Structure 1
């Protein structure tokens, strides 16, 4: 072979080798990167055109894919859009996915490893990949009762309701207001989608915010459950005890009105008062003194046993376009006056509605705090169950004895105290009101309410948070406005 032919042959061989190396790199090493690249229109179109699984409440879809007569073959729809928007989120073009649509995306798209057999069957049958269904823990009746209660309040209501099954941690209701219509963000008219999103983002009421898990506010007097738990756990008190009382209490290391705690005219005894009376009347002076007595570290430890300062819920991570969920917090090292304020749910104490529902549920469940969850079952496209969520205990927040003592106090608060709006005829209800100062002169107080029923064998625990409504500042009260909502939600669960 002469030299020119040899040079050309070697050149062709090198080019062929380079082609093989490039093909190998593209198909085996870079493939996943190209698939995940948001600019890859073919992959995005293929995913958007897939028959996506449904999100189910019972047998009823609250998010489903229906056939469409356009390029994308299927349209994602939300039949009860505003009722469930805070839970479902939305599935939009180009990887814009939020809420359960995002956290359960592998199941809904059919890519989850638990659906391998079904995926293989679809492939062999020359059918497109079908997504699996996700059945939720939500009670339709409880969800509707919570939504109706919040939206019946006057004005542009900002608030949330969460209901839990104490023994398992199942989320029976999760409602946030104001809400939005995810159908307007998931249509095939991408220009209209963008305009709808921009309008929601510009809305001062933040309808894309799921206040049940993305808003942490001072819990006010509902935090007195935690303070009472710490006091009883100390071994010094029970439900029949006399506790430090008084019309006013000067916080340690303070002087003047800035450090003076009062009870807004409620009867809280003199030197001492019955624990039941203190809880019934939500006596600030009592719980501030109890907090100082048990100490900041003990109170922090008790709060953390109920879930504060931890992240334990991820099913709605990134919900509604937000990157993180709110964390309920108790200050790290409060001094005595700060501890007194913390004991009544002020200072730097912050809680989400889900967290306060967990506190109530933990007391209702003999002190056991269960991990909350929304996904009950994962099903194949043919409705075969492929996985079921198993309840998981997070902590033993208090002893069973302490839980019983707290329940006695909370039943008395419904029967004879500030939580009476939650009373249900023929059923013992345990409950606690809360009205928390916002700390801003132009922002009204926040109204809270927590409860569970039946008190001796709870089937449901509820937290209601009203951040804002068209209510005169002086009339805002957790019992007046949150109590009836909690009652309706509890009744909806108990009637099932």
Structure 2
């Protein structure tokens, strides 16, 4: 064979083998990444030719599709769109998908493998293909209350309410929010996108799941759990001094306002929790040790994410290289971060006798005729011992009695005021609470306009109580 022909043949064979390998890699390993990607124009147009399933909650349709003059299906958000947008998301020809529209895209457009049987029956019967519907766990009254409590006050932050015994998310509100219809409509999409992506407060971000921040004193629930698991009780003696010096440093850490706890000297863990005494928890956290603190945080789900159909960040405790860092971490400062969903799960775990249930947003998937195709089954994913949860409940009930706005209702709660930035930066304010198989977590960022003196009891607690009541908590 001519040498030139042989070289050309070998080169061609190599190219063919590379092409085959590339096609195999794409088909076998990157189908979901490419073919199922909502930004894939071919797949996107194909999906728009199929009736997309509805998204509903409490009997109210939140998202639906209608056919235009060209035969394509256009998405619209019809019930309180701004209240539900951070959860439901959007489906845009230009900007792709977000929220549950993205997380449940294959179910809504009918391509998910779990829908094979129903789609096969449609083919056999000659019926047109269609997407499945998803029904959410959200309580419409609780959701609307949560959103209004945030938005009407101009707060930046989030609220999550859930049912501790099952993990159902009853409310997930984020503020500021946005109108997904403005992103979907080609006539307004570009202007709306520019506005939303340049606005302060990041309205396109779900602040309940996609943002983790220092939790401040609500983290004392976890520090207390670690202490109770290592020999402490509600009657254990702890410091009540106004300030402590962090080990190995000249740094002094004080209680809120530089005040002593219960008159100074020593007090009980119960009183320290009720009054949220920083100094007591700094020393207690150092005493039980970093391993115990990390184990307790893991028991409550800090550092973990959940398969909600929504993006969620894990949070965590960060590096704790020495006792000084451990002391700061024990009061939810330094590098400790949680998101609002995790805070609600933490409260829910105590409420549920120590059993941490996996939170979920989609209760069932239904067909075009609303027949049930699948139902979510609640699942436990960790937690603490029942006796620990019972002691924490008692401490949290005592904390509620000491919280601003206490109205005599037997709620178990904990407030948090988390420092960040410099001394002139207003703190993030937190409130977690539970009652009657409803747990709630509230975050209002940057003091909610109340300045550097803002507290969780002042800013976040009234929101939490309103949402608890709306969800049937009392």
The alignment's TM-score, normalised by the length of structure 2, stands at 0.88
In structure 2, distance between residues paired with 1:169 and 1:412 = 25
Question: Relative to 1, partners in 2 of residues 1:149 and 1:177: Cα closer, same or farther, differing over 3 Å?
Answer: same
| Matching of residue 311 in structure 1 with residue 311 in structure 2 | no
Question: Relative to 1, partners in 2 of residues 1:39 and 1:205: Cα closer, same or farther, differing over 3 Å?
Answer: closer
In structure 2, distance between residues paired with 1:45 and 1:336 = 58
Could you tell me whether the CA contact under 8 Å between 1:452 and 1:460 is conserved in 2?
A: yes
Aligned residue number for residue 316 of structure 2: 329
Alignment partner of 1:472 out of 436, 447, 450: 450
Question: Relative to 1, partners in 2 of residues 1:150 and 1:99: Cα closer, same or farther, differing over 3 Å?
Answer: same
| Matching of residue 429 in structure 1 with residue 429 in structure 2 | no
In structure 1, distance between residues paired with 2:88 and 2:235 = 46
Aligned residue number for residue 392 of structure 1: 379
Secondary structure, aligned partner of 1:130: coil
Aligned residue number for residue 219 of structure 2: 223
Could you tell me whether the CA contact under 8 Å between 1:158 and 1:469 is conserved in 2?
A: no
Aligned residue number for residue 9 of structure 2: none
Which whole-Å deviations, capped at 9, do the CAs of 1:44-83 have from their partners, x for residues lacking one? 3231232111111022111111343345244433432100
In structure 1, distance between residues paired with 2:95 and 2:122 = 24
| Matching of residue 285 in structure 1 with residue 279 in structure 2 | yes
Could you tell me whether the CA contact under 8 Å between 2:300 and 2:356 is conserved in 1?
A: yes
Aligned residue number for residue 66 of structure 2: 66
Aligned residue number for residue 181 of structure 2: 183
* Structure whose alpha-carbon radius of gyration is higher: 1
In structure 2, distance between residues paired with 1:38 and 1:391 = 29
Secondary structure, aligned partner of 1:212: coil
Could you tell me whether the CA contact under 8 Å between 2:162 and 2:439 is conserved in 1?
A: yes
Unaligned segments of structure 2, at least 5 residues: 1-19
| Matching of residue 267 in structure 1 with residue 270 in structure 2 | no
Cα deviation for residue 38 of structure 1 reads: 7.9
Secondary structure, aligned partner of 2:348: helix
| Matching of residue 407 in structure 1 with residue 393 in structure 2 | yes
The alignment's TM-score, normalised by the length of structure 1, stands at 0.84
Which whole-Å deviations, capped at 9, do the CAs of 1:77-97 have from their partners, x for residues lacking one? 343210000100101116701
Could you tell me whether the CA contact under 8 Å between 2:426 and 2:453 is conserved in 1?
A: no
Aligned residue number for residue 492 of structure 1: 470
Cα deviation for residue 314 of structure 1 reads: 4.4
Question: Relative to 1, partners in 2 of residues 1:302 and 1:35: Cα closer, same or farther, differing over 3 Å?
Answer: closer
Q: How many residues align?
A: 450
In structure 2, distance between residues paired with 1:335 and 1:42 = 55
Aligned residue number for residue 87 of structure 1: 87
In structure 1, distance between residues paired with 2:226 and 2:43 = 55
Aligned residue number for residue 296 of structure 1: 290
Could you tell me whether the CA contact under 8 Å between 2:38 and 2:97 is conserved in 1?
A: no
Cα deviation for residue 201 of structure 1 reads: 0.9
Which whole-Å deviations, capped at 9, do the CAs of 1:302-360 have from their partners, x for residues lacking one? 1111112223344202xxxxxxx322111244311111111111011011011111111
Aligned residue number for residue 208 of structure 1: 204
Which whole-Å deviations, capped at 9, do the CAs of 1:378-437 have from their partners, x for residues lacking one? 1111111111111111113x211111111111111112x1x24354x5x41100111000
Aligned residue number for residue 239 of structure 2: 244
Aligned residue number for residue 322 of structure 1: none
In structure 2, distance between residues paired with 1:491 and 1:40 = 44
Could you tell me whether the CA contact under 8 Å between 1:305 and 1:395 is conserved in 2?
A: yes
Alignment partner of 1:160 out of 158, 166, 170: 158
Could you tell me whether the CA contact under 8 Å between 1:263 and 1:285 is conserved in 2?
A: no
Could you tell me whether the CA contact under 8 Å between 2:418 and 2:427 is conserved in 1?
A: yes
Q: Structure 1 stretch 405-414 or stretch 327-336: which is displaced more? A: 327-336
Aligned residue number for residue 131 of structure 2: 131
Could you tell me whether the CA contact under 8 Å between 2:156 and 2:448 is conserved in 1?
A: no
In structure 2, distance between residues paired with 1:37 and 1:59 = 30
In structure 1, distance between residues paired with 2:36 and 2:212 = 34
In structure 2, distance between residues paired with 1:229 and 1:43 = 50
Secondary structure, aligned partner of 1:359: helix
